[in-house]
Copies of this chain bind each other. A is one copy, B any other.
C-alpha cells in the first residue's frame, strides 16, 4: 500500500493524502447517508496537473479512482465501492475573471455553485442553473451529473451551460478546450460527451460556462389546481403567456400536509386541493402584472396567491422547498428521480400509490418536482425493508410510460442495475464501447453508471 501513497504524497503534498479513518470518514459517506464505502486513501490535488499526476500514478499501480465533488449527489456516485483512491476535487477553486463580452466564465471543478453565483452577479450576470444544494454542490459535479434544478424550464440543464471543458483522461492525458466559442464544428463535442458521464470517461477539472442575465425582479405564484391535468394546463398557459417564466414546480396535497406539520406553516388556501404549482417569473422589471393576467385567464386555477417582495416570495417557495427536509424528518425515504413525457404524467401520478403499496404495504409516496420536464422526485416513506422492491416497482412503472429512471440525479451506483429499463441493449453496448475506448482498464468510477 505504501508505494502508491508515497507517490501521491509526492504529487499533492503529505497533508493532502488522507489515510486515517477519522480523516477519511467525511468523504466516504454521501449526503443521504445511504451510500458509503471504504477508500484506500483520500487525495486532494490542487490543480489539473496534480489531478493528471494522481491519475497516472493510480493507473500505473492498477488502482481505481473514485471522483468526488461536493458529495451532494443522491445516487452514490461519489463514494467508493471499496479500495479505490478517492480523488476529491474540492481544492480546484480557481475563478477566472468574468468575460462580460461573451457572458462566460472559466472556473475550477471545486468551485461551489454559490461561490460561482457570487462571482457572476456583480457583473449583472448569473448562473443558468440553481438548486437547493448550492452551498456544497460543485461545478465539476454539476457537469459530471448534468444537474438540473429549478431553472431548467428557462435555461436548460447544466449541459446547456457548458461551453468548454478541461479534463483528465484515464491515461493521465489532459484535454483542454476553454475558449468557449459559440460555434465550433471541428469534430466530436467532447465537452457534451463528458457532461452527464458521471466521471466514468474523464475527470472534469475546469469548466467554461455561459452566464445568463441577472434578473432582479421576481414574482411568485402558489396556485391550487385539481390535479395533474390542471397543472399541465397551467404550465401551457404560463409557457405561452410568460416569457419571464423561470420556474414551474409541482407538489401534491400529501406533501403540503407533511411540510405544514414539519414547518408549522399556515394553510396557503382556505380549502385543500389535490395539487399545487409554484410559478416564478424573473425579469428586469416587475413581472407581477403578466403573472396575474395569466392566472386570471387560466381556467385550471382553483385558487392562487402571489408575492413579489423578498419575504413573500420566500414564504411561498417554502411550501415547495422544505419538502426534502420535511420528508427526511419523517423517516429515511427511498429517493427516486424520474421523468416521463408530459402526456404520461397524470397516469404516472395516478398509478404510483398502488404500485408503491403493492411493493411495500403501508409505504407512502410523497411526490414533488419540476413540472416543465415531467420530472418527479418520488420519495417513499415507511418502505421498511422493502426499499429494493419499491425502487424496482417504481422504475418499472416509469419505464412502462416511456420515462427515464434518472431524470436529473444520474445513475450512480444506486440505479446501475436498472439502466436497461431506460436504455436499449444497443445503447448500453455503444456506451460500453465508448467507456472502453477512453478507459480501457476501467479505472475511473468503477461500478458507477455501467454495472460491472
CB contacts (< 8 Å) of A181 on chain B: these are: 339-341, 373-374, 403-404, 407
Q: Are A426 and B185 in contact (CB under 8 A)?
A: no
Contact with B along A172-211 (1 / 0, CB 8 A): 0111110111111111111011011100010000000000
Check A342–B148 contact: CB distance below 8 A: no
Q: Which of B148, B185, B372, B404 contacts A404 (CB 8 A)?
A: B185
Is A123 positioned at the interface, with any CB of B under 8 Å from its CB? Answer: no
Docked complex Cα distance between A14 and B436 (Å)? 41
Taking the complex as formed, is A449 at the interface, i.e. its CB lies under 8 A from any CB of chain B? yes
A407 and B339 in contact (CB under 8 A), knowing A243-B243, A437-B434? Answer: no
Q: Which residues of B lie under 8 Å from residue A374 when comparing CB positions? A: 181-182
Residues of B within 8 A of A426 (CB): 169, 173-176
A127 at the interface (CB under 8 A from B): no
Residues in chain B near residue A145, CB distance under 8 A:
185
**Nearest CB to that of A186 among chain B residues?**
B422
Given the interface pairs A173-B429, A424-B175, the reply to whether A411 lies near B185 with Cβ below 8 Å is: yes
Question: In the assembled complex, how far is the CB of residue A209 from the closest CB belonging to chain B, in whole angstroms?
Answer: 15
A186 near B372 with CB under 8 A, answer no
Q: How many chain-A residues does the 8 Å CB contact rule pick out?
A: 75
> Which residues of the partner chain B approach A213 to less than 8 Å between Cβ atoms?
240
Structural contact, B185 and A410, CB atoms closer than 8 A: yes
The answer to whether B190 touches A427 (Cβ under 8 A) is yes
A450 within 8 A of B: yes
Flag if B192 contacts A427 (CB, 8 Å).
no
A101 interfacial by beta-carbon distance below 8 Å: yes
| Contact yes or no, B196 A193, CB < 8 A | no
Contact between A431 and B192, CB atoms less than 8 A apart: no
Cβ-based interface call for A5 (8 A)? no
A418 smallest CB distance to B (angstroms) = 9
Check if A402 is an interface residue, CB within 8 A of chain B.
yes
Report Cα–Cα, A374/B163, bound state, in Å: 15
User: What would be 28 A-B contacts, judged by CB atoms less than 8 Å apart?
Assistant: A101-B236, A146-B185, A146-B189, A148-B185, A159-B189, A160-B160, A175-B426, A175-B427, A180-B341, A181-B403, A181-B407, A182-B339, A182-B372, A183-B375, A183-B408, A184-B406, A185-B196, A185-B410, A186-B406, A186-B411, A187-B419, A187-B427, A187-B450, A188-B201, A188-B430, A188-B431, A192-B193, A437-B437
